[in-house]
A = this chain, B = another copy of it.
Amino acid sequence: MAQNIFRAVLALAVVASAQAETHRFEPSVYHNTFSFAHAPVLTIKPGDRVITKTIDARGFDAQGREVGRRSNPQTGPFYIEGAEPGDVLVVRIEKIEPNRATGWSSSLVAPYTVDPASLRAQGQFEQTTETWNIDKARGTARIASETILPRGIEVPLRPMLGCVAVAPARKEAIATSTPGEFGGNMDYNGTVAGVTLMLPVSEPGALLFVGDGHAAQGDGEILGNAIETSMDVEFSVELIKSKSIGWPRMETEEYIMTLGSARPLLQALQHATTELKGWLMAEYGFDERGAGMLMGQALEYDVANVVDPHFTVVAKLPKRLLSPQ
């Protein structure tokens, strides 16, 4: 069924993908900025699928070797044939799966996530990096340390990518800690296998980066990181020519979504809301009032991250409400 969604999106794609290929790409270099200036590691066509890997946020791979530098070293960039500024790159995430048995996270919540006055009290605790044991059979991750209370904290696995990005506009080179119009470190726990992400192209070839896998992450990513680990990743790409979007868009079976990133948090929400309203009006037949009234009663927000240089908020609408009769 997931196929169907993607096909629906592809119906919009004007660039056909006659002979789609599957590429196996083993990365050997990783980048710490999203930038037009990095040489492409692989050229792919719309319709192609890529089977590759990402390393963890501090640069450790599936074998625990340090092969990249913190923070959030990226796999890529992939050059998409035919992509030009003013197009939209469509990335379907096919698979995200931890490829080692542990992840790590911080242990104290990050400064901006709690009342400032409560941070003075926190002064007595030292920040530590803690190990999580990943059990794919059970579908959970469990804190390894026996000294953290209560013992045995365990959370469900929900593997996701913190970063999916194209090269930013205006020849900027942005640290991979940061999200923006180009995607980037949005740290949205809804970026899981099965979703389709749309990103505005600013450079020839789009230059697609992926990285920063999390075995699980709560809303807000309030530790400043999540269960950071290396991943096996598969994705395929399509291209929509000459289409202007302001912020990343996402589509699942159930929802259309937009991802706004900024500080303050309200501004991220404003970007996401404005983009979603524009989407309804441009593609679903809503006027200003219709869009407002549906969103007013049916909009959902997710708080993706409140710890990165820009925070990310997701606005979403159930698809079943988009075709009223």
Q: Which residues of A contact B (CB under 8 A)?
A: 32-33, 35, 37, 105-109, 111-125, 128, 130, 141, 143, 148-156, 170-175, 216-223, 225-227, 262-267, 269-271, 273-274, 277, 284-290, 292-303, 306, 311, 313, 321, 324-325
Contacts and interface: CB of A to CB of B under 8 A. Distances in A.
A33 B172 contact: yes
A280 to B, nearest CB: 10
Contacts of A227: 297
A263 B263 contact: yes
Contacts of A37: 37, 173
21 contacts: A32-B170, A109-B295, A111-B116, A111-B117, A113-B269, A113-B270, A114-B274, A125-B289, A148-B293, A150-B285, A152-B325, A154-B321, A172-B175, A216-B297, A216-B298, A219-B300, A220-B299, A223-B293, A266-B266, A269-B303, A301-B302
Where chain A touches its partner, the secondary structure class is: mixed
Nearest to A103: B297
Contacts of A216: 297-298
Contacts of A299: 218-220, 222
Given A220-B269, A263-B267, A293 B143 contact: yes
Contacts of A306: 266, 269
A292 to B, nearest CB: 5
A171 B33 contact: yes
